[in-house]
Amino acid sequence: MLLVYTYKITPRLTYTFKHIFTRVLNIQVNFTTKIEEFIAHEGLKLSYTKQALGKELFIKSNDLLFNQGIDYLDINIIDWDGVPCFFQTNAGIELPCDLFAASFYLISRYEEYLPHVKDEFERFPAHESLAFQHKFLDKPIIDIWAYKFEKILLEKFPNCRDEIKSEQRKFQFISTIDVDIAYSYKHKGFIRTVGGVLNDLVHFKLKDILNRFLVIFNIKKDPFDTFDELIKLKKKYSTNTLFFFLLSEYTTFDKNISSGNINYKLLIKDIADYTDVGIHPSYFSMKNELKIKTEKKRLENIVNFPITKSRQHYLRVELPETYQNLVDLEIKEDYTMGYASNYGFRASTCTPFYFYDLDFEIQTPLKVFPFAVMDGTLKDYLNFTPKKSFNIMMQLAEEVKKVNGTFITLFHNESVSGIGRWRGWNKVYENLLKELSKSN
């Protein structure tokens, strides 16, 4: 066990140290404000305060973990052996910055509480983030800092190597599938089908009209109906796959088939027999707890078990309100933490973490699973080819492997069809599962 001496034990401090030591490094950690207890402790220990007590492992603390509320912070990025860091300590030789305060700043999404210009969908944009501006968005920098600090511990406490290295975590891969539109043509109802045909006529999409009728009359398979293939790939490569279903009323941004459609219900029940499913709260649910509750209940009535996993449609999150609503609705895991416009690590970690509510200064029971890359980001925002997109995904996976973290991807059922605008993407998805299954 690692003992940490500090002059004041705060929720921010315990939250951050437990993330780095317990969840990333698998080292148990405890805290004390008593100098006598700290001195008497034999084994791993460090002091996190303003001045060293003696010759112990000492980290000069920034004030962030002892403060409350939100303030503007002066952040200056410096280099730590080729790795960017901030909150420079200017004291001691063990490390040049307070990685604990810096980790809290990033993982709590502190910057998203500060004034910023939102994108067209009212989201915190990637380009407003510290990670994007200083070019470390594509690296799980908190996990990298943690492993660099582990080396310092090994050098400082060579006799505690077995304790430090006792139980190393392993790389994990989670494939998540968002079902925004279950079918392209089927089960849309008479009015939406007629409207689709008329829209195709206006835009002279004669091929789409033909395909629509071939699908409706069961001559051809619906292009978005990739569910059997997704389940086959899950089984073939033993992949941990999770589906999120949209169950809202029809809106400009929510265009799935009716949540009351018997065929849609049967699809969801069938998928839930093979793998985990979660709710995909609709576009306008970001600040509306009642909408999330209604949609969650619909899914629970279909599958007949409690729903505890969630990802917001369009990745729309308003901190802390959206997450507070999820906590109130007993959602235990959220998979929204990522950007639509850029790939990388929005919270600068590839380790699932508990949401820290800066409004109430508490760690909540909501566990956040940050994803690293979305199909639409590479295809629509960045205009990458399937080949380049696959290479980007593998590069991100390699970064996660270096720190034995959890690599999470976001695909959609239509993107793995390999048809139309998604030509070649079915190979991207299967090749990704094939490569990562070797180390998962």
Structural domain containing residue 287: 172-184+222-436
Burial of 68 (0-12, 13-18, 19+ CB in 10 A): exposed
Q: What is the pLDDT of residue 153?
A: 93
Residue pLDDT, tens place only, 151-183: 999 999 988 888 888 778 999 999 999 999 999
State the CB neighbour count (10 A cutoff) for residue 343: 26
Could you tell me if 75 and 147 lie in one domain?
A: yes
Could you tell me if 178 and 191 lie in one domain?
A: no
Could you tell me if 93 and 233 lie in one domain?
A: no
Could you tell me if 336 and 256 lie in one domain?
A: yes
Could you tell me if 90 and 118 lie in one domain?
A: yes
Per-residue pLDDT band for 221 (boundaries 50, 70, 90) equals confident
Q: What is the pLDDT of residue 303?
A: 97
Could you tell me if 138 and 227 lie in one domain?
A: no
Average pLDDT, stretch 377-397?
A: 98
Could you tell me if 385 and 295 lie in one domain?
A: yes
Q: What is the pLDDT of residue 197?
A: 47
Average pLDDT, stretch 329-334?
A: 98
Could you tell me if 53 and 135 lie in one domain?
A: yes
pTM of the model: 0.94
Q: Across-strand partners of 363?
A: 356
Q: What is the pLDDT of residue 201?
A: 62
State the average pLDDT for the chain. Answer: 92
HEC profile of the chain? CEEEECCCCCHHHHHHHHHHHHHHCCCCEEEECCHHHHHHCCCCEEEEECCCCCCCCEEECCHHHHCCCCCCCCCCCEEECCEEECCECCCCCCCCECHHHHHHHHHCCHHHCCCCCCCCCCCCCHHHCHHHHCCCCCCCHHHHHHHHHHHHHHHHCHHHHHHHCCCCCCCEEEEEEEECCCCCCCCCCHHHHHHHHHHHHHCCCHHHHHHHHHHHCCCCCCCCCCHHHHHHHHHHCCCEEEEEECCCCCCCCCCCCCCCCHHHHHHHHHHHCCCEEEECCCHHHCCCHHHHHHHHHHHHHHHCCCCCEECCHHHCCCCCHHHHHHHHCCCCEECCCCCCCCCCCCCCCCCCEEEEECCCCEEEEEEECCCCEEHHHHHHHCCCCHHHHHHHHHHHHHHHHHCCCEEEEEEECCHHHCCHHHCCHHHHHHHHHHHHCCCC
Could you tell me if 280 and 357 lie in one domain?
A: yes
Q: Across-strand partners of 29?
A: 2
Could you tell me if 23 and 126 lie in one domain?
A: yes
Q: What angle do CA 271, 352, 301 make, to 5 degrees?
A: 30
Residue 291 · residue 251 · CB < 8 Å: no
Q: What percent of the chain has pLDDT over 90?
A: 81
Per-residue pLDDT band for 133 (boundaries 50, 70, 90) equals very high
Per-residue pLDDT band for 7 (boundaries 50, 70, 90) equals very high
Could you tell me if 214 and 256 lie in one domain?
A: no
Average pLDDT, stretch 95-107?
A: 95
Number of domains in the chain: 3
We report the CATH number of the domain holding residue 427 as 3.20.20.370
Could you tell me if 189 and 249 lie in one domain?
A: no
